[in-house]
């Protein structure tokens, strides 16, 4: 469904991605892990059209979408849940979702709002609450629900469990599994690397802008060497791997 071929992205003189290639098949949950500064966010942003690559190709369902603007990519079925959620704090849950569904028809929007309530009951309970009053876990679920308002086939999530308590990390991971069960294709960037890999069908480990390991999620999660060397200090698995 998604193919990234030799993608190179630069910030001025800094090359953040060095000819990165990966693929994501339809219905897969793929985890992208690696230390801080590895280029994970840069990769998601380049795929989502927020950054222009200096070289390489991004194809979606076989069509070249390299360098296309984000709105075109949303129309093509892609949605990004950015790090730190970026929801509108002064708007209610409902208003946040309605805004995200602004390009849908009235009937589609109504249907998707209903789906959001069913998928995330905690949002239903806080439907008229300003998003600024939501807990971190609720706000993250709202960010995911917002991305779903365009009914994407491919969902990209940047650090969806960042700063959440362990119980809420579980809630977010369960949500991802549910979405995969609905047939959506998911790419998730995660600091909770082992958890994400265990859940994922496949994973990629990125380090200093290059893919350094790839394979089935469970197999990568079992590689203590990888985590000691690449994920390293401060990540949940680096510490375990050192024991
Ligand atoms: P983190 O987990 O810390 O978010 P990451 O793997 O997502 O890390 P990126 O944020 O993609 O990594 O950063 C990749 C590289 O690009 C890093 O060296 C970073 O310093 C650099 N970089 C990121 N954003 C910019 C920017 N706006 N201007 C210049 N350099 C940047």
Domain residue spans of the chain: 2-231
Nearest CA, atom 26, ligand 1: 11
> Which strands make up the sheet holding 154-158, listed edge to edge?
78-81, 154-158, 185-189, 29-33, 202-207, 210-216
Lowest mean pLDDT of 58-62, 93-97, 116-120, 235-239, name the range: 235-239
Residue 202 bridge partners (DSSP): 30, 216
Query: What are φ and ψ of residue 90, in 5° steps?
Result: -85, -10
SS3 per-residue string spanning the chain: CEEEEEEEEEECCEEEEEEEEEEECCCCEEEEECCCCCCHHHHHHHHCCCCCCCEEEEEECCEECCCCCHHHHHHCCEEEECCCCCCCCCCEHHHHHHHHCCCCCHHHHHHHHHHHHHHCHHHHHCCCCEHHHCCHHHHHHHHHHHHHCCCCCEEEEECCCCCCCHHHHHHHHHHHHHHHHCCCEEEEECCCHHHHHHHCCEEEEEECCEEEEEEEHHHHHCCHHHHHHHHCCCCHHHHHHHC
What are 162-212's pLDDT values in tens digits?
Answer: 989 999 999 999 999 999 999 999 999 998 899 999 999 999 999 999 999
Query: What are φ and ψ of residue 204, in 5° steps?
Result: -130, 140
What are 6-51's pLDDT values in tens digits?
Answer: 999 999 999 999 999 999 999 999 999 999 899 999 999 999 999 9
Instruction: Report the pLDDT averaged over residues 115-144.
Output: 94
Nearest CA, atom 30, ligand 1: 11
pLDDT of residue 196: 94
**CA 15 to ligand 1 centroid distance, Å:** 10
13 lines ligand 1 (CB under 6 A): no
**CA 178 to ligand 1 centroid distance, Å:** 30
**CA 1 to ligand 1 centroid distance, Å:** 26
pLDDT of residue 230: 60
Instruction: Report the pLDDT averaged over residues 219-226.
Output: 86
* Buried b / exposed e along 197-215 (16+ C-beta atoms within 10 A): bbbbbbbbbbbebebebbe
**CA 70 to ligand 1 centroid distance, Å:** 20
41 is written with which tokens?
A: 């966010």
- The pTM assigned to this predicted structure is 0.90
For residue 237, pLDDT over 70 is answered with no
For residue 227, pLDDT over 70 is answered with yes
Kindly report the average pLDDT of the chain as a whole number: 90
Rounded Cα–Cα distance for residues 193 and 223 (Å): 12
Instruction: Report the pLDDT averaged over residues 207-235.
Output: 80
Whole-angstrom CA distances from 174 to 43, 56, 121, 169 are 24, 34, 14, 9
**CA 206 to ligand 1 centroid distance, Å:** 12
37 lines ligand 1 (CB under 6 A): yes
Of 54, 49, 57, 106, the residue nearest 78 (C-alpha): 49
One of 3.90.580.10, 3.40.50.300, 3.40.225.10, 3.40.50.10680 is the CATH number of 2-231, namely 3.40.50.300
Residue 125: pLDDT band by 50, 70, 90 thresholds?
A: very high
Nearest CA, atom 11, ligand 1: 39
pLDDT of residue 228: 72
Residue 242: pLDDT band by 50, 70, 90 thresholds?
A: very low
62 lines ligand 1 (CB under 6 A): no
């Amino acid at each position: 469904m998604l193919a990234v071929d030799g993608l190179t992205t630069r910030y001025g003189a800094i090359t953040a991605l060095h000819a990165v290639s990966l693929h994501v098949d339809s219905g897969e949950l793929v985890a992208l892990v690696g230390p801080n500064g590895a280029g994970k966010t840069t990769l998601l942003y380049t795929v989502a059209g927020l950054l222009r690559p200096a070289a390489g190709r991004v194809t979606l369902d076989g069509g070249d979408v390299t360098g296309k603007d984000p709105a075109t990519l949303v129309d093509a079925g892609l949605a990004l849940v950015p790090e730190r959620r970026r929801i509108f704090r002064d708007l209610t849950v409902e208003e946040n979702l309605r805004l995200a569904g602004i390009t849908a028809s009235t009937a589609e929007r109504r249907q998707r709002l209903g789906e959001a309530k069913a998928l995330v009951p905690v949002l239903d309970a806080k439907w008229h609450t300003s998003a600024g009053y939501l807990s971190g876990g609720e706000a993250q679920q709202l960010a995911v629900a917002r991305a779903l308002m365009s009914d994407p086939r491919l969902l990209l999530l940047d650090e969806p469990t960042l700063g959440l308590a362990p119980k809420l990390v579980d809630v977010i991971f369960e949500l991802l599994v549910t979405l995969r069960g609905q047939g959506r294709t998911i790419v998730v960037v995660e600091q909770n690397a082992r958890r994400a890999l265990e859940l994922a069908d496949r994973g990629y480990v990125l380090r200093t802008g290059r893919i350094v390991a790839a394979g089935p999620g469970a197999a990568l999660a079992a590689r203590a060497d990888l985590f000691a060397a690449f994920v390293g200090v401060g990540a949940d698995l680096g510490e375990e791997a050192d024991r």
